[in-house]
Structure 1
């Protein structure tokens, strides 16, 4: 495999990691009360807002899937920085994803690479479509396969394995579970009624410190000792991460229509804006044919055998 193709693969994988990681932090959206309940009235109290979002938690849990249209903006100082647009379908319980991605974060460092790519995630495995040029170089194999558990196991490092397991748990959390993070905010606020994509919604917002986010994240329960939890928080703070600002717009059916999450880092603010629709539509996501895939771990072994001096 030519090194130039590997560079393009690396860019795609970096972008995908950003997408999956942010989706894990931000999938969740809240449901709400009917617009008539609040129109022309005083803003709801924090307890009333929590009740609304709790109702949304329950309603969204039952849906198990939705269409998603997401835009992420990442500071240029971060690897994969730039803008990423993603649209497609996602499902939870079980966690699946089938989306098309495009944007400057995808093409950064590889301007000759594909301008957009498709990503599929199913059974804890991610597949990236590397395009026709890749297929020509790899006997028709255009899909790069990345098995997160296999990557963790191959590291031989218990800490890496634990972190990867936590990451998979986060990806397996459905939007309702992510909404539970927002419910952990001590300062929930009802902003007021707004229209989103032509639909009447109610707008809510809240913030979480790093400590509050870790405490509210059920995926981390039982995985870290108190000392390890403190180290995790310290490591996150070292990156310059200040906390999470979350906004959600809930439609009249108690489903999140839109969500915005901002994360302030030393390099700048990472922002994700997601629009959701068609809740409950079946998410039929299938892995690409085995004959059209090549394994990320095998690729890494190939690169090691080529040595650092291989030319692009």
Structure 2
């Protein structure tokens, strides 16, 4: 398999990792939004952060658009009890990378997040090009060697619902925008702009910087149980403008993810080595 095919497929698959936090914001310019006192919003957000963290699991439905490169939807369950784990079904809906994936017979993909790595299941057409194996394994420590979409993907380990609320707490202009009904629930809408240099989580800050992110706007909706119902994120990355929207529900849902069969799994570094490329 040629280097370009391997890397395009890898980038497309890995960009999907960001989908769980995912699309577009209220569309109202920041300067047009009503001003509010940041200190007044902070206690409620801290309560939401703790409540969402304690919930430990949730069902996620999301959309992601990354410039002209890729658009996708993702549905599944996530757990942040002991690191990130979960399973998502990802559908590629548009963009140049999606066209590449379709050419390889991949329009939908199952993604599994486990403690050691991210696993992506590809179809028979692509599997035929990789020795017949249907699962690709990406060790988290190897993601940065891919660059581009992989840098964005690596952020996924730090973008669970509680982390989203925590990130907004780092905003200098966080504010409450009022009550709104979202997904049939009464919620309070909060928004702010986060400068990456102000992010207090040093690991997340480094991942954002590696992806070429300097700032991002966040909108979140918190329900009466102090749980995140919806999150919208917009930012500019090294791969273009990224817009993500995620809806969270069924907090506390059971999440049990199994590692794919070893005999049907190929490691991406091995795949690149077999294609005569250097992953670094």
- Normalised by the length of structure 2, the TM-score is 0.79
* Aligned twin of 1:302: 274
How much does 1:266 deviate? 8.0
Of the three residues 104, 107, 113, the one matched with 2:94 is 104
2:130, 2:237 → 1: CA distance? 39
Question: What is the CA RMSD across the aligned residues, in angstroms?
Answer: 3.4
Q: State yes or no: 1:196 paired with 2:182.
A: yes
Of the three residues 64, 70, 82, the one matched with 1:72 is 64
Name the structure where strand makes up a greater proportion of residues.
2
How much does 1:86 deviate? 0.9
1:94, 1:284 → 2: CA distance? 14
Tell me if structure 2 keeps the 8 A contact 1:125–1:147.
Answer: yes
* Aligned twin of 2:48: 56
Instruction: Could you tell me which runs of 5 or more consecutive residues in structure 1 were left unpaired when the two chains were aligned.
Output: 28-41, 306-312
Of the three residues 123, 126, 129, the one matched with 2:115 is 123
1:294, 1:207 → 2: CA distance? 40
Tell me if structure 1 keeps the 8 A contact 2:19–2:62.
Answer: no
1:220, 1:137 → 2: CA distance? 35
Matches within 5 A, 1:254-293: 254-264=226-236, 269-293=241-265
Of the three residues 5, 16, 26, the one matched with 2:13 is 16
1:110, 1:169 → 2: CA distance? 22
Q: How many residues align?
A: 259
1:120, 1:167 → 2: CA distance? 13
Q: Secondary structure at the match of 1:109?
A: helix
1:176, 1:252 → 2: CA distance? 16
* Aligned twin of 2:161: 175
Compared CA separation, residues 90 and 148, structure 1 to 2 (3 A): same
Tell me if structure 1 keeps the 8 A contact 2:86–2:256.
Answer: no
* Aligned twin of 1:31: none
1:280, 1:172 → 2: CA distance? 19
How much does 1:299 deviate? 1.0
How much does 1:16 deviate? 3.2
Q: Secondary structure at the match of 2:15?
A: helix
Tell me if structure 2 keeps the 8 A contact 1:67–1:89.
Answer: yes
Instruction: Could you tell me which runs of 5 or more consecutive residues in structure 2 were left unpaired when the two chains were aligned.
Output: 23-33
- Normalised by the length of structure 1, the TM-score is 0.71
* Aligned twin of 1:32: none
Tell me if structure 2 keeps the 8 A contact 1:65–1:279.
Answer: yes
Tell me if structure 2 keeps the 8 A contact 1:66–1:90.
Answer: yes
Compared CA separation, residues 104 and 209, structure 1 to 2 (3 A): same
